[in-house]
A and B are shown apart, each in its own frame.
Chain A
């Protein structure tokens, strides 16, 4: 029931063969069945059942909302009133916000039922959903067979929104909200075999999303079909007075074509996205889909984004500088973890932050303050911002000649946890975010599509990247690829 997409829910409710409370119960049951995957940090059972019953009443009175009966999971860095929001950190382990993030509020207002808060890398710093206070999330694909050589081993989910991708891939809900600063919804979705949209910067409100890097963060959506992404996106998009970086868009009522025609579409293949370490099967898939698009009437051309290979270094500076400032509010006084120290205020802060943050988080704060030192500010911070403009301009130039770009998402299929944990957080990020990070620096929308299984039986995906606010074309094109590739979801 939970694997056919939102369309099937709407039909079931309209035909009165299904009630929101039944769907909610099925979701909660599925969460229990798949508990081992560690997708959720907090399950909000009571509240979900209550909201589902309100949905039942609407269905009985014939006033069905577009997302009635649709269970969704929310990454644990979005504030939810009355429900603890941890960022997968000890620092916020007991933090209960008093307000709800705008995107979540808009989904709920349309009937969606939030069933839980999902696991992630602490403060979204990571690409595996393995660096969490609550332990790693596990990929549902090949789960039973992953531990063949090392008992208890598993394939990583990708990250940082790994819990959200698993929640959808394992059939516990119809859609999920994540956040994407360097690839954090696209990466785990590609590895868990679900669809994800990283919208244009400013299309979705960040109010209530605990910030990582203000000028790069966007809420992202994860779903079982691109139609579902389009529906959730059209509901969430638009100006929010509580986020001054939201922009006017025209996505309300966005509906994709039944079988989108791609005649005459110009698709660019960014050459620099083939970087060292890319799996041959990813290249093969990329090549095959380029062929497919040509067969469907697209004009496929090679394009160059020459500054691509500096994107991660640029990001490492911008991210750490923002982190140093964004995480300054966690001092143990107003909220969050607090140590016993009463020696001095500064000592309390330092002790609290030593105890509350992992070494990855502390490392980024310290690096950020290093890059921001008086003598380093121009050398590192401003240079990174200049480089950002060059990366942005690369895209501007290619989009004069092509409508969309087709590129890999991750360099490889999902990796075994035993392999993954041999490398440190930063080294992993330099491999993992290579193909996803540039779209964040340029504020562009990107769509991650699972396409086929590898020889190992793990999902492989590609992404489409478009100019700012080209979500409609992006998703229509993606939908045609979805129809042609006919990727079979794991839970069907």
Chain B
């Protein structure tokens, strides 16, 4: 599986124009240092409800804070008078297909359902808000 032959490419040692186009040192402006972000516990609970995802552990909140800190670099760019870009196809017409019903065997569609009864998907009672994960309160305090 290992390589058997190392290709040898020899270039004439010329100081050509192309050679000087490739920067030999990094071209990089140092990013502004943004302060640490602290996400209040109420927001943590709100995000769990909105996401229907549990942080599960305190480190997950720290990871979110780091992700937000990282993203803040976008504040450093002046975007006044710049319109948000949703898609690169913004100047093309993208026709929608006709909304025509297609025949599918319901059995095939429901093939991946774990819990079914008499042709219905079984779900637990609705309209009950997700309970707050109290463990997070302790971990964050």
Contacts and interface: CB of A to CB of B under 8 A. Distances in A.
Interface centre among A94, A278, A385, A487 (most CB of B within 10 A): A385
A353 B22 contact: no
B60 A366 contact: yes
Interface in A260-285: 269, 271-272, 274-276, 278, 283
Nearest to B49: A346
Interface size class of B (residues with CB under 8 A): 35 or more
B139 interface: no
B17 A300 contact: yes
Nearest to A305: B27
Do most interface residues of chain B lie in helix, strand or loop, or is the interface mixed?
Answer: loop
Contact of A442 (B28, B76, B88): B88
Contact of B83 (A215, A359, A389): A389
Interface in A158-182: 170
A354 B53 contact: yes
Contacts of A300: 17-18, 21
Contacts of B43: 370, 373
A352 to B, nearest CB: 9
A301 interface: yes
Interface in A109-157: 140-145
A350 B115 CA distance: 17
Contacts of B75: 379, 383
B124 A170 contact: no
Contacts of A380: 71, 74
B58 interface: no
A316 B63 CA distance: 13
A345 B71 contact: no
Interface in B73-128: 73-77, 79, 82-89, 92, 94-97, 104, 108-109, 111-115, 121, 123-126, 128
Given A347-B128, A353-B54, 16 more contacts: A96-B111, A98-B111, A145-B2, A202-B92, A215-B87, A245-B87, A271-B27, A287-B18, A288-B11, A291-B14, A291-B18, A316-B67, A342-B124, A345-B128, A485-B9, A487-B7
Interface of B: 1-7, 9, 11, 14, 16-19, 21-29, 31, 39, 43, 46-56, 60, 63-64, 66-68, 70-77, 79, 82-89, 92, 94-97, 104, 108-109, 111-115, 121, 123-126, 128-131
Interface of A: 34, 94-96, 98, 140-145, 170, 201-202, 215, 241-242, 244-245, 247, 269, 271-272, 274-276, 278, 283, 286-288, 290-295, 298, 300-302, 307, 309-310, 313-314, 316-317, 320, 324, 328, 331-336, 338, 341-351, 353-354, 357, 359, 362-363, 365-371, 373, 379-380, 382-390, 392, 424, 426, 430, 442-443, 452-453, 457, 468, 485-488, 490-492
